[in-house]
């Protein structure tokens, strides 16, 4: 049985299961249940020292008793592809316990011929999926033998491909036992990210401008309007690394709304926002984090 190692444990988050459990428990206790039960969440994927407390607000909205399958969509940071990729392993390791991959769903996705299979090296090099796994394990700990995961690495998709994958995932989003986890950080600002957008009409200080910029993007996502989100990205080129997984989710919502019978009303809200640091000078840099929850009302 092939197991993907927790390759970022010990660097991006605590490799000691007991200490990690305590840390996640504290963050979840400090967050607020205000928009659940979640059908999908958006959660950041930086080191937990930076974004762990923010991510808790997304995971706090999950009702684990309802969940049997968890799709985890994360952007590919290091491997170039124009589609989506699936792991070849059977389990993903975490310091808490291993998570089982849903091979039946993987077979269904592979049968569409729109997914490639990733080497173990590519798999282990990517952090956007792995950083969601300890939180998934923690939230689902009372049901650890009763759910599976469907990790999907998302490449640099065109708008048409975002729509294609949204249509593929729509039937799973409609399933009341399925949860989607969308892995994304928000603005990566600074010379080291080749992004230094600064408009003083959006804030006298750089970090205020970044906040306004991110809020504009979050507002379009809350409207569940894929075309508005694409327009926003074209206008500002905001360095939202999970823009394609977010776009896939928005297109899945759009496809679901066209189904018969139509789904219940859906509502997405951002619940927490944070920055790794507050930029004051052109030489500064920061990464923004935001957590959101989508519910069927």
List, for residues 197-233, the tens digit of each pLDDT value: 999 999 999 999 999 999 999 999 999 999 999 999 9
Instruction: Specify the pLDDT at position 241.
Output: 96
What is the tally of structural domains in the chain? 1
| Residue 195 φ/ψ, nearest 5 degrees | -145, 110
Which phi-psi region, left, alpha or beta, contains residue 203 (left: φ > 0; alpha: ψ -120 to 50)? Answer: left
CATH number at residue 13: 3.40.830.10
Percent of the chain with pLDDT over 90: 95
Instruction: Reduce the DSSP state of residue 291 to 3 states and report it.
Output: strand
Distance between CA atoms of residues 45 and 140, nearest Å: 19
C-alpha dihedral over 45, 225, 239, 138, to 10 degrees?
0
Distance between CA atoms of residues 147 and 102, nearest Å: 9
**288 has pLDDT over 90:** yes
**180 has pLDDT over 90:** yes
Structure tokens belonging to residue 115: 């997914």
Range of the domain at 89: 3-296
**115 has pLDDT over 90:** yes
| Residue 222 φ/ψ, nearest 5 degrees | -60, -25
Instruction: Specify the pLDDT at position 240.
Output: 98
Model confidence band, residue 263 (pLDDT cutoffs 50, 70, 90): confident
Mean pLDDT of all residues belonging to the chain: 96
| Residue 272 φ/ψ, nearest 5 degrees | -155, 145
List, for residues 35-77, the tens digit of each pLDDT value: 999 999 999 999 999 999 999 999 999 999 999 999 999 999 9
Instruction: Specify the pLDDT at position 262.
Output: 84
Distance between CA atoms of residues 19 and 4, nearest Å: 21
Q: Largest Cα–Cα distance in the chain?
A: 56
């Amino acid at each position: 049985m092939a197991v993907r190692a927790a390759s970022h444990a010990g660097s991006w988050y605590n490799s000691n299961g007991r200490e990690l459990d305590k840390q996640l428990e504290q963050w979840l206790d400090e967050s607020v249940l205000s928009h659940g039960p979640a059908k999908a969440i958006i959660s950041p994927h930086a080191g937990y020292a930076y974004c762990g407390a923010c991510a808790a607000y997304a995971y706090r909205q999950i009702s684990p008793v309802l969940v049997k399958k968890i799709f985890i969509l994360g952007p590919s940071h290091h491997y170039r592809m124009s589609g989506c990729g699936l792991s070849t392993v059977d389990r993903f390791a975490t310091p808490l316990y291993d998570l089982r991959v849903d091979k039946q769903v993987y077979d269904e996705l592979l049968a569409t011929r729109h997914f490639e299979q990733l080497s173990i090296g590519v798999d282990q090099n990517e952090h956007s999926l792995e950083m969601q796994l300890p939180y998934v394990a923690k939230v689902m700990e009372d049901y650890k033998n009763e759910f599976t995961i469907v990790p999907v690495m998302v490449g640099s998709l065109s708008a048409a491909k975002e729509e294609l994958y949204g249509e593929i995932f729509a039937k799973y989003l409609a399933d009341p036992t399925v949860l989607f986890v969308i892995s994304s950080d928000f603005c990566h600002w600074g010379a080291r990210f080749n992004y230094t957008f600064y408009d003083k009409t959006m804030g006298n200080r750089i970090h205020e401008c970044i906040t306004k910029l991110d809020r504009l993007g979050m507002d379009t996502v809350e409207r569940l309007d894929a075309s508005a989100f694409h327009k926003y990205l074209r206008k500002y080129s905001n360095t939202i690394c999970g823009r394609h997984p977010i776009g896939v989710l928005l297109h899945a919502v759009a496809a679901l709304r066209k189904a018969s019978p139509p789904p219940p009303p859906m509502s997405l809200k951002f619940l927490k926002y944070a920055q790794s640091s507050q930029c004051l000078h052109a030489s500064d840099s920061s990464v923004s984090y935001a957590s959101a929850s989508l519910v069927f009302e």
